[in-house]
Amino acid sequence: MEKEVRLQAIYDMISKSEGPVSGTALSKKFNVSRQVIVQDIALLKARNVRIYATHKGYVCSPQRVRRVFSCFHLNDRMEEEMNAIVDCGGCIENVFVKHNVYGKLEAKMNISSRKQVKEFIDSISQNQAKPLTDLTSGYHCHTVSAQSKEDLDSIEESLRKLHILQEA
């Protein structure tokens, strides 16, 4: 079997599986060594295919959609904003501000649950840290990912109802 055909078949097998697919199962199916499977998976990852290794085998991460939300609020509403996003199925990938002198300043977040929101808020409080939004008097943006466009639309509506969303 040609390498490109095998790569596509490996992707198809993993993406259509309802659970993890072991390297052993893949090597038997395609009559190659496990080392070849490891190399093939590395090639797929290099092509930005979202495949991850777990202790039970390989899985495909579902494709997520992203949207940038422009927001404004004071620090006392940070938790409310973040909970609104995660409650609608969103993952807050980052926060960024556009500073007049420094340009775009970004912090990775990857927050997708109320538990993580609480941990983040507690961390700011315990470390007496200032949120990035202090640099721009509360104006900031979040890149948010979700499973569907409908989830992102729900997030947008929630932020609008809270008067946090900044309309263009």
163 annotated to a ligand binding site? no
CA distances from 40 to 20, 24, 30, 33, 156 (A): 16, 13, 11, 11, 39
By the 10 Å C-beta count (0-12 exposed, 13-18 middle, 19+ buried), 46 is classed as: exposed
Are 104 and 97 in contact, with CB atoms under 8 Å apart?
yes
Residue 81 CA, chain-centre distance (Å), reads 17
73 annotated to a ligand binding site? yes
Residue 91 CA, chain-centre distance (Å), reads 6
81 annotated to a ligand binding site? yes
167 annotated to a ligand binding site? no
Residues 6+ apart with CB under 8 A from 156: 67, 69, 165
Which residue is listed with tokens 């970004």? 106
Point out the annotated binding site. 73, 81, 140, 142
Binding residue ranges for Ni(2+) = 73, 81, 140, 142
